[in-house]
Structures are given as structure tokens and as C-alpha cells.
Amino acid sequence: MTSKNTLAAVLLGVFVCIGLIGLGYVLGSSAIKFKEYERTVTVKGLSEREYDADIVIWPIQFTEASNELGALYSALDNSTAKIKTFLKGNGIAVKDITASAPAITDKSAQQYGNNGTVEFRYTAQQTVTVYSKDIAAVRAVMSKLSELGKQGIVITRGDYQAQTEYLFTRLNEVKPEMIEEATKQAREVAIKFANDSQSSLGKIKQATQGQFSIAPRDKNNPHIKKVRVVSTVEYYLSD
């Protein structure tokens, strides 16, 4: 009876050892495969295109000066009328033209400043703004702005608020194609990396889309916009 118990114990020990060896092999093999499966490569893809702006905001800022407040307002109305006539005569639609309220300064009422005698007590600044989708027509009129100077209108230049703006509002229309292009380029880079490292490219582990940026193509052509986006994609690699 004792020998039978001993034999049974020995067989049980052998089976346990075999089981542990097998389990160790399986776990070791799984760990190696899991480690290989976690090999990844992260790449970036760029999509960059040029588009024409579709809206222009053109502020025409001018100044007037006088010692009489009534005369100052009359001068402002007169200059505003001349600017509107000039714009309409050059093909700008009436609906695209607006005039802001004038900003008037009374130099005699200024608490700080030059205490000397000034030529004009009142100065005023007003802006006539063109908001249009006809970029070509507006740009053509811009080149003729000197005609207003010949009519005695003092155009203010260099003021930040008087800078022309060009807007590109069709981003949602071009987004899908640009994202597809950036992702395709990222995959091409990943394939090249995989081939160079003698690996195979697997599925995407994760992907992130960068922010779209819109900027003038260059300072001389602000009406042409450069739109770009960068996609970052992480792929699995395997041997």
C-alpha cells in the first residue's frame, strides 16, 4: 500500500512538473508575441494647399479737421459721399459698402498734451468699409485709391484698424480631402520605415489630427491663402 502511494505521488509530481513547464512555455511564448505586437512606429503626414480667399474686408479710413464742429460734420458727410460714389463707380455693390460713426477729438478738452496753439480744435476719423466676395473687383479698385486723394480726401494708412483682411471660409469643404491626403502621406512614410527595418506594417494603433492653419501665401499676396494640416499616426510593426 505504501509503494502504491509513493508511485502515485511520483506520478503526480511528474504531471505537475510537465504542467508547469507547459504553462511556462505558453506564457513565455505569449509574452514574446505580445512584446512583438507592441512594436510601433509613429509618423507624420502633411497636406498643404493654396486657395483664393473668398471674402475681403477693406476699411478706407480718412480724417477731417476744423475749428467748427458743424463744419467738421459737413466735411465728414461730404467725404463719405465722395468715397461711396467712387466705389460704386468702380463696380462695388451698394450693399457691400458701410460707414462707421466718426471718432471726434476736441484738442482743447484734452487734459494732457501739447499746451501750444493748435491749428484746428477738432479732428475726426471715419471709416468706410467694403465687405465683399468679389475679391478681384475690390483689388482693382484699391489700385485707384489715389483718385480720392486728388479730391482732397486724406486717407489714413498704417493704422492697424485700417488693415485689409482676406478671409477663407470654405475650410469645411476642403477638410476631408486634406485629412485623407495627410493620412495617406503618413502611411507612405511608415511603409518606407518598415521596409528599411525589414518589418511589416500593421494596423493603426492611434491617430491624431493637428489643427488646420490658414495663412497668407506671402506678404505680397495676402488674398491667396495657404491651408495646411499635419496628421500623426502610430502603426504596429511585426517581423
Structural domains of the chain in order of their starting residue, each with its CATH number: 39-53+169-239 (3.30.110.170), 55-167 (3.30.70.2970)
Question: Looking at the predicted structure, is the pLDDT value of residue 114 above 70?
Answer: no
Note the pTM of the prediction, 2 decimals.
0.75
Sequence-distant (6+) residues with CB within 8 A of 166 are 53, 55, 56, 57, 135, 216, 222, 223, 225
- pLDDT 10s digits, 55-112: 999 999 999 999 999 999 999 999 999 999 999 999 999 999 999 999 999 888 765 5
Distance CA 173, CA 49 (A): 13
Residue in 58, 60, 63, 59 with CA at minimum distance from that of residue 153: 63
Find the mean pLDDT for residues 180-203: 92
- The three cell numbers of residue 195 are 521596409
103-106 vs 122-132, strand pairing mode: antiparallel
| pLDDT band (50, 70, 90) for residue 6 | low
Does residue 192 sit in helix, strand or coil?
helix
Q: Is the pLDDT of residue 193 over 50?
A: yes
Share of the chain above pLDDT 90, in %: 65
Q: Please name the residue that has the C-alpha cell 479730391.
A: 151
Q: What is the mean pLDDT of residues 49-58?
A: 97
